[in-house]
Amino acid sequence: MKCTGPPESQKLALAMEHALARETETWKVPVFHGFTLKGTDISPFYYEKAVLWIRESSLLFQFCSETFALAVSFFNRLLASVKAQLKYLQCIATACLVLAAKINEEDEIIPSVKKLAVQSGCKCSPAEIVRMERIILNKLHWDLYTATSIDFLNIFHAMVMSKRPHLLNGLPQRNPSRHAAFLTRQLQHCMACHHVLQFKGSTLALVIITLELERLTPDWFPVITDLLKKAQIDSTQFIHCKELVDQHLLGFQPSNTVYIFNPANQNIQTHLDKRLPCCYSTVKQTTQINSGARGSGPGPSAFILLRAKTHEDDMQPDEFYDGFKYLYSEDEIPEAGQTSSMGGSDNQRQEESNSTCPPLQPVPQMD
């Protein structure tokens, strides 16, 4: 669906109202007291480990992001309703993923319970998983339809893009669906944190949107204020959640860095005399070192701070891209050699980003 025009805005507003109504009816999360889940022997560490296991298994079987979010919703609602034991936690997580897949995925994609248990590394037998499915259905009163944080993220993102599509100009994610996939990665990362478990999915999704808008435009406050009113989100809860998510997302980016020498603004002989580090690495994002950066040597203009490639970088937003294309009618594939507003073809930019060497500069003409 396209995100332009008044009729589409009305559809988004109606979808948000329905999602908020379902969230109010079904939202329920476990509460941690001290170092364990209330009334159980489940610590925050094992809770987060179980959610991460759901995410890894969902990626393994190529389930959509909504399936992961729905499985986590079942997982939280069950832990809030019963006093589960730690030894059953993986079985509960597996059964929640199976139920979510049956709701969201096509039949040919869903593996058998036995295959899912074996390939995901679950130590439970198929019979135990099926038995746990029945327990979950009974405890949730067979009420499996709910609005997840991914649903709210899609709605809020579409609302923002319908009014401000220019915000994506100049970003690596040059279309709304790729940008939504990028934000989905951030949201999934936060869903595994027990500190933000106390906040509703609508609040968490709007916080992700807010942090992104703060990065993209100085005129972000009116947009978020309008969404806060429409979503009827408590401002105090929103601010608290925003602080926690902002801190948690710091761990989303790899902390190790590589210093790359850039001879464009510094004499090479000076660099060699002071024996400063010099290397080249394939990286995806660069940030200029601020003044006062640690280490001796030339000024900050001579160096670039680069993120070293880690496991997180292996999973690109393209893995989620196909799940969002239909939201923005982006099924068309650009022809070879087609240029974007950024200038240059996509193939050329791909080759430049994958190059392990800096771009060549023309040799100055001698008079």
Domain borders along the chain are 1-26+147-253+316-332, 28-139, 257-309
Parallel, antiparallel, or unpaired for β 36-37 and 32-33? Answer: antiparallel
Q: What residue spans of 149-279 are helical by DSSP H?
A: 149-163, 176-191, 201-216, 221-231, 235-248, 268-273
Enclosing H/E stretch for 260: strand 257-261
Q: Which CATH superfamily is domain 28-139 in?
A: Cyclin-like (1.10.472.10)
- Spatial distance between the Cα atoms of 237 and 299, rounded to a whole number of angstroms: 43
Q: State residue 366's pLDDT score.
A: 53
Q: What is the pTM of this model?
A: 0.67
Residues 58 and 185: beta-carbon distance below 8 Å: no
| 1-26+147-253+316-332 fold | Cyclin A; domain 1 (1.10.472)
Parallel, antiparallel, or unpaired for β 303-307 and 286-288? Answer: antiparallel
Q: Tokens for 25, please give them.
A: 């009816």
- Spatial distance between the Cα atoms of 275 and 268, rounded to a whole number of angstroms: 10
Residues 57 and 176: beta-carbon distance below 8 Å: no
Q: State residue 124's pLDDT score.
A: 87
Produce one character per residue of 290-318: b if its CB has 16 or more CB atoms within 10 Å, e if not. eeeeeeebbeeebbbbbbeeeeeeeeebe
pLDDT tens across the length of the chain (367 residues): 454 545 778 888 899 999 999 999 999 888 888 788 888 889 999 999 999 999 999 999 999 999 999 999 999 999 999 988 999 999 999 999 999 999 999 988 899 999 988 888 888 899 999 999 999 999 999 999 889 999 999 999 999 988 888 888 777 656 788 888 889 999 999 999 989 999 999 999 999 999 999 988 888 888 899 999 999 999 999 999 999 999 888 866 543 434 344 444 444 344 444 444 443 333 333 333 333 333 333 333 332 333 333 334 444 445 544 555 555 555 543 443 443 333 444 444 444 444 444 444 454 555 5
Indicate if 28-139 has the same CATH topology as 1-26+147-253+316-332. Answer: yes
